[in-house]
């Protein structure tokens, strides 16, 4: 039988729990989703534990699992993916972090983890640090990503280098001293380097003219950097070789773009695809259909459902589910009808929790010859679907089978 093409659409943090603020419905149940409803009627449904029951996934570990890579083997921190997503090159021993500009007092007590959040000066401050931040014996590079955030890479740190965060993750606490996470000499050396970077960055930023101006204007100084998610890139098997598929990713979210790059999935930049609630749905769908002309496997990521969950805003999440539905509709319009189209999530971000949870997420698979479950695409309908319950690691295999792309094991 002919091999089919595969579209995997992941709506970040889509899953939820019944909320009293939505008359005990989930956002998926409360939203008006005509396109998902139409797709769902002829699809198989199921539930996915992205990593395992009782494990609350991060977006990074979950996406590795959804691409079929065990995060317990391959995950070494989010930093490398952020750096790749910011279009930085990454060598095997480069140690990469996610970073924030923050406001601290003279004792390195964190007053604001986001330096007032509004930080239009961030790209200039990053350039300044790139020029001036000199730590003996190492090369350090930064690249601005979004708002007050950046990626920071220490070149040739060593493959064994593993160190802790300096970000205390809360205000009112001091910047944490960086410590080695293992006994390797690289880790000990890098912990010291990171502590020097923290001190030196504070000195440089404290007296920067842009910060003097911010202070005069009554705004918080961006006078410190907080680092987290430090790690080196492990050797990851590429998706194209592993599954004999040509592959593309359509996403505006740095960490997801970075993961896809690390897995050798082509990751074009698409104008208007921003990775937030303002993303251009039509541009995104067009990019998907274009990619599908050339590729066997197209991965699409929709971020805004997760952000609404973190904001504990049920109405916003309903609106974002409806935006996801528009994206699904636009993609459906461009399909030929013989593809495998899967819609799922990387984890739940329940609006009453405001954080990721370990709940399983709904999965829909549409293809010409699936067992159709009928009904809507919701968490509760998915619990009774033909697919049953999967772990994230199994999803690629299930999709490949539906696409007639799995080779026989044995004679």
Total of chain residues touching Zn ion, rule CB under 5 A: 4
Q: Which is nearer to Zn ion, 158 or 252 (CB)?
A: 252
Measure the CA angle with vertex 109, ends 108 and 114; round to 5°. Answer: 95
Q: Which is nearer to Zn ion, 50 or 80 (CB)?
A: 50
The yes or no reply on residue 166 touching Zn ion (CB under 5 A) is no
Shortest Å, Cβ 10 to Zn ion: 8
Cα→Cα distances 327→280, 333, 349, 370, Å: 9, 10, 20, 22
Give the range of 75-83, 87-95, 175-183, 299-307 binding Zn ion by CB under 5 A: 299-307
Stretch of 51-59, 110-118, 249-257, 377-385 lying at the interface with Zn ion (CB under 5 A): 51-59
The nearest distance, CB 392 to Zn ion, in angstroms, is: 12
Contact between 60 and Zn ion (CB under 5 A)? no
Residues 6+ apart with CB under 8 A from 150: 86, 98, 99, 100, 101, 122, 126, 142, 143, 144, 225
Looking at beta carbons only, is 12 or 112 nearer to Zn ion? 12
Q: Which is nearer to Zn ion, 12 or 82 (CB)?
A: 12
The reply to whether 211 sits near Zn ion by the rule CB under 5 A is no
For the bound state, the minimum distance from the C-beta of residue 12 to Zn ion, rounded and expressed in Å, comes to 4
CA distance 308 to 26: 13
Q: Are 326 and 13 in contact (CB under 8 A)?
A: no
Rounded to 5 degrees, what are φ and ψ at 180?
-70, 145
Smaller CB separation from Zn ion, 186 or 306: 306
Residues pairing with 328 in the sheet: none
Closest CA to 96 of 234, 241, 243, 301: 234
For Zn ion, the closer CB: 195 or 253: 253
What is the number of the residue whose Cβ is closest to Zn ion? 59
- With binding defined as CB under 5 A, does residue 12 bind Zn ion? yes
Distance between CA atoms of 295 and 248, rounded to whole angstroms?
Answer: 7
Q: What is the three-class DSSP state of 212? A: helix
Cβ at position 310, least distance to Zn ion in Å: 6
Q: How many CB atoms lie within 10 A of CB 404?
A: 13
Among 16, 94, 167, 306, binds Zn ion (CB under 5 A): 306
Name the minimum Å distance from CB 143 to Zn ion.
Answer: 22
Position among 186, 339, 346, 379 found at the interface with Zn ion (CB under 5 A): 346
Mapped onto helix, strand or coil, the DSSP state of residue 402 is helix
Among 182, 198, 197, 269, smallest CA distance to 232 is for: 182
Tell the smallest beta-carbon distance from residue 256 to Zn ion (Å): 8
- Residue 39 C-alpha from the chain's centroid: 26
Q: Work out which of 11, 19, 33, 59 binds Zn ion, going by CB under 5 A.
A: 59
Nearer to Zn ion, 63 or 144 (CB): 63
Pick 135 or 353: Cβ nearer Zn ion: 353
Q: Cβ closer to Zn ion: 35 or 59?
A: 59
Minimum Å gap between C-beta 17 and Zn ion is: 15
Determine phi and psi for 11, rounding to 5 degrees: -95, 115
Distance of CA 22 to the CA centre of its chain: 27
Question: Any idea what DSSP says for residue 357?
Answer: B
Segment lying near Zn ion (by CB under 5 A), choices 18-26, 233-241, 302-310, 358-366: 302-310
Where along the sequence are the contacts to Zn ion (CB under 5 A)? 12, 59, 306, 346
């Amino acid at each position: 039988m002919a091999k089919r093409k595969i579209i995997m659409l992941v709506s970040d943090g889509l899953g939820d729990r019944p909320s009293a603020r939505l008359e005990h419905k989930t956002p998926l149940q409360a939203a008006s989703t005509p396109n998902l409803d139409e797709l769902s009627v002829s699809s198989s449904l199921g539930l996915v534990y992205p990593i395992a029951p009782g494990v609350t996934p991060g977006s990074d570990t979950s996406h590795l699992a959804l691409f079929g890579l065990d995060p317990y083997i391959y995950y070494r921190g989010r930093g490398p993916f952020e750096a790749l997503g910011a279009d930085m090159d990454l060598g095997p021993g480069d140690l990469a972090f996610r970073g924030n500009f923050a406001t601290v007092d003279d004792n390195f007590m964190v007053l604001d983890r986001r330096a007032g959040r509004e930080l239009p000066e961030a790209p200039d401050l990053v350039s300044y640090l790139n020029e001036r931040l000199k730590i003996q014996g190492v090369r350090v590079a930064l690249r601005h990503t979004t708002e007050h955030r950046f990626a920071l890479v220490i070149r040739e740190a060593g493959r064994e280098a593993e160190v802790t965060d300096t970000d205390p993750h809360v205000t009112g606490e001091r910047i944490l001293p960086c410590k080695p996470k293992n006994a390797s000499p690289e880790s000990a050396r890098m912990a010291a380097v990171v502590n020097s970077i923290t001190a030196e960055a504070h000195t440089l930023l404290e007296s920067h003219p842009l910060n003097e101006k911010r202070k005069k204007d009554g705004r918080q100084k961006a006078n410190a950097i907080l680092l987290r998610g430090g790690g080196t890139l492990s050797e990851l098997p590429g998706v194209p070789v592993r599954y004999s598929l040509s592959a593309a990713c359509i996403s505006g979210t740095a960490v997801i773009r970075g993961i896809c790059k690390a897995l050798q999935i082509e990751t074009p930049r698409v104008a208007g695809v921003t990775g937030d609630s303002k993303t251009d749905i039509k541009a995104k769908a067009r990019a998907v259909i274009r990619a599908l002309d050339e590729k066997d496997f197209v991965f699409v990521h929709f971020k805004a459902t997760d952000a609404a969950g973190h904001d504990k805003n049920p109405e916003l999440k309903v609106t974002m589910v409806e935006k996801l539905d528009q994206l699904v509709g636009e993609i459906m319009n461009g399909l030929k009808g013989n593809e495998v189209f899967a819609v799922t999530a990387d984890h739940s971000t329940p609006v009453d929790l405001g954080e990721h949870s370990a709940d399983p997420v709904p999965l829909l698979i549409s293809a010409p010859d699936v067992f159709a479950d009928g009904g809507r695409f919701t968490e509760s309908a998915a619990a009774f679907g033909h697919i049953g319950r999967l772990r994230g690691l199994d999803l690629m295999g299930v999709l490949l089978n539906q696409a007639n792309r799995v080779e026989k094991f044995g004679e």
